[in-house]
Structures are given as C-alpha cells and as structure tokens.
C-alpha cells in the first residue's frame, strides 16, 4: 500500500536499537522530482528513517518500496548497486575523501559505475560549475572552505543523475549565507534534473526550500500523503 505515483515509499516502519525504539510505525513517500523535508526534534528518528529509506539500515518490520520493488527483498549486493546507481547522498559534514582532489571526489560515483576517468571528470567539472565550485577542482577537501566543500559534496551526490538524493542536515555545519546557497543550488539542480530529494533537517528555514514536509515525533511521522 503506497501512495499512487510515489517513487520511494515506506510503510509502518519499526526499528529498535537495543531497548530504544527509533521508529515506531513511520510511513513516508516521495514522488519523482519532489523535494520533501523530514523534520522533527533531535532523537525523533529522522536519520533512522532516512537510513531505512536508503537501504542502509534494515527495519525490524514494515516495508520500503522503491520503483515498485521492496528493498528488504533485495540482496545486500542489490541494495548496494541501487545506492550507487539510483541514490545520491549529502551529509552534514561533506564526507569527501581527503586524499582525492575535489574533482576526483565528484567523479567518484561515476568511476565506481565504470565510467572512464576522463569522461567522469569532464562530467564532474560540469556539475562543479553548476554548483559554482569549478575553481577548486584541483584542490583537496582540506584546502577549501566549509561552504565550498559542501557544494562539492552536492555535486558528487548529483553527478550520476540519481533518482533520489538523501540529504541529512546538509547545512548543519554552515553559516546562514553558505547554508542558503547550498540549499538554493541543491534544490535548483535537483529540480532541473528531475531528482527527488529527501531532506532531513530540524531548521525551518532549510525546510522552506522543500515542496512538502513530514514531521517525525517519537519515531512516528505524519505524512499527509498517507492520510489521503
């Protein structure tokens, strides 16, 4: 039972860490090209929901369906392949590979998918230009500012034109101005490319860049799509 036309949907997810319930009947859906903010207080289960949706964490019960396929029915290798080809990720701290240059970082998802270096880095540079960080292509992550690093991370998340980008507090480590620019560029690029974005944030100003929001409280969320 998933909302009609949804690309990715979770239904009645439960997940417990030790004796602590992280998700307690959470449901969620996102349509192709839609930007949905997942909001809620710290410890409410936002990140666990995101990890379940992305197939990183397996829920104790409930289903996650992506493009009509149930993630729990797929093998680990199948889920890993899906994350490489269809999903992109942005975290609070860019999590770029420090030994690689910025353009090599952005090209990485393409390289992992078997694209040759020259072609991969060419595409990576185009995305870096869109994110206004092509001038730091040859630098290593340690040599760029927090805002630049995060834009490099956004370019990396979008470079393989995924169907869904998961962004977990993508502006959490940035000041207001840099955070806004990252959100503008992330949502604009995703909308242009038709990529859906699942945006975990506790900041309303960041959530205001979304098309719709879902609130997680005590492991449950109110997704109005499900209420219809």
* Residues making contact with another protein (CB under 8 A): 41, 184, 203-205, 207-211, 213, 215, 217, 222
Residue 20 or 75 having the CB closest to another protein:
20
Q: State the Cα–Cα distance between residues 213 and 217, nearest whole angstrom.
A: 13
Minimum separation from the CB atom of position 160 to another protein (A):
26
Q: In the beta sheet, which residues pair with residue 65?
A: 9, 70
Nearest CB to another protein, comparing residues 138 and 208:
208
- Closer CB to another protein, residue 69 or residue 205? 205
β 212-217/87-90 pair status: unpaired
- Which residue lies nearer to another protein by CB, 12 or 211? 211
> What tokens were used for 41?
């207080």
Phi and psi at 158, nearest 5°, equal -100, -15
CB of 204 to another protein, least distance (A): 4
Parallel, antiparallel or unpaired: strands 196-200 and 35-39 = parallel
CB of 177 vs another protein, minimal distance in Å: 10
Residue 116 C-beta: closest distance to another protein, Å: 37
**Cα–Cα distance, 149 to 9 (Å, whole number):** 31
Residue nearer to another protein on the CB measure, 115 or 190: 190
Instruction: List the one residue out of 162, 226, 165, 171 whose CA is nearest residue 202.
Output: 171
Distance of closest approach, residue 14 Cβ to another protein, in angstroms: 22
**Two tokens at 101?**
């240059």
């Amino acid at each position: 039972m998933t909302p009609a036309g949804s690309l990715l949907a979770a239904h009645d997810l439960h997940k417990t860490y030790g004796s602590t319930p992280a998700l307690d009947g959470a449901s969620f859906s996102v349509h192709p090209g839609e930007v949905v903010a997942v909001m809620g207080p710290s410890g409410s289960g936002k990140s666990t929901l995101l990890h379940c949706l992305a197939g990183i964490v397996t829920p104790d019960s409930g289903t996650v369906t992506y493009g009509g396929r149930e993630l729990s029915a797929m093998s680990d290798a199948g889920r890993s392949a899906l994350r490489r080809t269809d999903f992109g990720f942005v975290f609070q701290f860019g999590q770029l590979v420090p030994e690689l240059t910025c353009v090599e970082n952005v090209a990485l998802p393409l390289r992992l998918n078997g694209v040759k270096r020259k072609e991969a880095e060419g595409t990576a540079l185009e995305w870096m230009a869109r994110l206004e960080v092509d001038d730091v292509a040859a630098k290593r992550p340690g040599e760029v500012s927090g805002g630049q690093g995060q834009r490099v991370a956004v370019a990396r998340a979008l470079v393989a034109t995924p169907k869904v980008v998961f962004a977990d507090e993508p502006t959490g480590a940035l000041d207001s101005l840099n955070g806004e620019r990252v959100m503008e560029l992330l949502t604009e690029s995703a909308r242009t490319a038709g990529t859906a974005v699942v945006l975990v944030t506790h900041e309303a100003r960041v959530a205001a860049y979304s098309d719709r929001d879902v609130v997680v409280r005590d492991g449950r969320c109110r997704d109005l799509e499900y209420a219809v």
